């Protein structure tokens, strides 16, 4: 019988190692990593918000010091970077939304572009609403 052969050559699979730098191989992968990194910008905003609340609770001097820091060039540039990443984050996620959300009206599927438009519309409405709340 030929079991000898079987044991000799099976299973001689070659298992390539997954490269650590896999993500620089393709622009799509780099874009993906960037999108994942945008979560750091979200963390930055969360920390700023916590510090803000903390400053308010510590009294007027602390609050003044904090707002002064917010106006510093370092803070403004950090905010600019964070803002860029947040917009990138929002846009990339919104563009993916039609894939995850499938909405029916009657028997017909709502097209992806409509879902996308609804998302952006909601974004604009919420932004305007917040702006109005804050400035009113």
Partner 1 sequence: MPVHDVVIVGGGGAGLRAAIAVTETDPSLEVALVSKVYPMRSHTVAAEGGAAAVIKDHDSFENHIFDTISGGDWLVDQDAIELFVNEAPNELVQLEHWGCPWSREPDGKVAVRPFGGMKKERTWYAADKTGFHMLHSLFQTSLKYPGIVPYDEWFATTLLIHDGRCQGVAALEQRTGRVEVIAGRSVIICTGGAGKVYPFTTNGAIKTGDGMSMAYRAGVPLKDMEFVQYHPTGLPGTGILITEAARGEGGILVNSDGYRYLQDYNLGQPLDVSDSNHPVKKSMELGPRDRLSQAFIHEQRKGRTIKGKFGDVVYLDVRHLGEKIIDQKIPFVRELASKYAGIDPVHEPIPVRPVLHYFMGGIDTDKTGSTSLPGLYAAGEVACVSINGANRLGSNSLTELLVFGARAGRAAAQFALEQSPTELAPLRKQVVDEDERITKSYLTKEGGTERISTIRTEMRDTMEDGAGIYRSEEGLKNTCNKLAELRDRFSNISLDDRSLTYNTELISVLELDAMLDVAEAVAHSARARKESRGSHQRTDHPVRDDDSYLMHSMAYKGDGAPKIDYKDVVITRWPPGERVYGQEQAE
Partner 2 sequence: MSNSGLQPTIDLEVYRYRPEQQAEPTYDTFTVPLRDEWVILDALNYIKDELDGSLSYRWSCRMGVCGSCGMMANGEPVLTCAAFLKSYAPGSIRVEPLANFPVARDLIISMDDFMEKMNRIQPWIITDEEKPLEEGEYLQTPDQVDEYKQFSMCINCLLCYSACPIYGMEPSFIGPAAIALAQRYNLDSRDHGQETRMDILSTDDGIWQCTFVGECSEVCPENVDPAGAIQRYKVTSTNDWWKSKLLPWTSKQ
Which residues contact partner 1 by CB under 8 A?
Answer: 1-3, 5-6, 9-12
CB proximity list for 57: less than 8 A, separation 6 or greater: none
66 near 72, Cβ under 8 Å? no
Alpha carbon of 36 to those of 1, 13, 21, 29, 111: distances in Å?
56, 34, 16, 11, 27
- Shortest Cβ 44–partner 1 spacing (Å): 48
For partner 2, the binding residues (CB under 8 A) are 9, 11-16, 18, 22-23, 25-26, 28-29, 32, 36, 96, 99-102, 107-109
Closest CB to partner 1 among 5 and 71? Answer: 5
- Shortest Cβ 96–partner 2 spacing (Å): 6
């Amino acid at each position: 019988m030929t079991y000898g052969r079987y044991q000799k050559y099976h299973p001689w699979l070659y298992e390539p190692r997954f490269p650590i730098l896999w993500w620089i191989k393709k622009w799509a992968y780099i874009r993906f990593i960037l999108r994942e990194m945008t979560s750091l910008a979200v963390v930055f905003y969360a920390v700023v918000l916590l510090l803000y609340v903390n400053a308010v609770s510590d009294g007027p001097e602390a609050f003044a010091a904090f707002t002064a820091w917010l106006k510093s060039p370092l803070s403004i540039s950090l905010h600019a970077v964070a803002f860029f990443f947040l917009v990138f984050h929002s846009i990339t996620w919104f563009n993916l939304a039609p894939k995850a959300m499938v909405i029916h009206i009657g028997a017909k599927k709502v097209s992806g572009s409509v879902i996308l438009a609804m998302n952006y519309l909601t974004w604009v409405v919420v932004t305007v609403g917040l702006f109005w709340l804050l400035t009113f």
